[in-house]
A and B are shown apart, each in its own frame.
Chain A
């Protein structure tokens, strides 16, 4: 079998063959091929990511507050306020990361349970 295309006709034939192959492969491969090839290792990384986000949120809040204090001359107050805001921001991005975990493991986020929703709604 020729390794390299030599002319335009060859190229066209190759493209056609590739398309036929793609169609055959698409028919043969099982549809849900898992979340991603590295999903497993990515999950191992999530905890580490959350810790870093929490700490950087806190640190960034401190830096913002301290900087504003320095500019406005209200020394401790804004720093204290912004440390709390930074903590909240850190927790927020942490929760966001946690939500990502939920989404990747739950495969499809919306529209996968259309079934018995209506009559269960009234109860809860």
Chain B
């Protein structure tokens, strides 16, 4: 995957940061091999636990810093579900908060220098998106039974067009997990690769200051993107949840 370009000592390896490699020794990566992905996924889980459990341990009325971060995230997700999916969506709050915290921390930890960005792999984001997709579909069928299929059967259209519209609706239903996972992974890959390319230019003394300023700017932007992407993923989960709970058009 390394795009190599050796002209005048300049070397760009913007994609090398996404290579999955075993943690201990070399060799082939099997499904049970502990890799850098394993390490950073574990760190992500630990970081969310640290903020949500250890951070709120004091249970102070006037929160300390960690507790206010945890309360902010809690309040943000809680309000989002209530606004979009309604009161009955709040039953699924624990899962959605978990999802939000996991993605936020995976994205932010990926920005630590020398870290591995787990959310830059479709394998990771795809699993997250598929979990939402299957979860929402199952909730829809459990809550509404066959009535859930009304989501695909547009009653406002004339009868002759409805089968065609149903096919279109089904395809656009399957677009959801794909676009969820591709958007998140695409944003992460693009931002991190651009940072690496700018960093590669820093090898030339003449443009080094510009390159470093560009890296700083990109990095700040990436912090924003990391949080916004997690927010968008969560908000879309809420939108899909709303469709599952109230499938009428």
Contact = CB atoms under 8 A, between A and B. Distances in A.
Contacts of B174: 60
Nearest to B231: A38
B179 A52 contact: yes
Interface stretch (A24-32, A69-77, A85-93, A109-117): A85-93
B182 A52 contact: yes
A98 B164 CA distance: 23
B179 A49 contact: yes
A37 B79 CA distance: 11
Contact of B59 (A5, A41, A59, A88): A5
A42 B175 contact: no
B111 to A, nearest CB: 17
Chief secondary structure at chain B's binding surface: helix
A3 interface: yes
Interface residues of A, number: 34
Contact of A60 (B80, B175, B229): B175
Contact of B175 (A1, A3, A53, A82): A53
Given A89-B172, A92-B168, A52 B58 contact: no
A105 B48 CA distance: 32
Interface of A: 1, 3-5, 14, 17-18, 36-38, 41-42, 44-45, 48-49, 52-53, 56-57, 59-61, 64, 82, 85-86, 88-90, 92-93, 96, 100
14 contacts: A5-B59, A14-B61, A17-B61, A36-B83, A49-B232, A53-B179, A56-B175, A56-B182, A60-B171, A60-B174, A60-B175, A86-B171, A88-B168, A89-B168
Interface of B: 58-62, 76, 79-80, 83, 164, 167-169, 171-172, 174-176, 178-179, 182-183, 186-187, 224, 227-229, 231-232, 235, 239
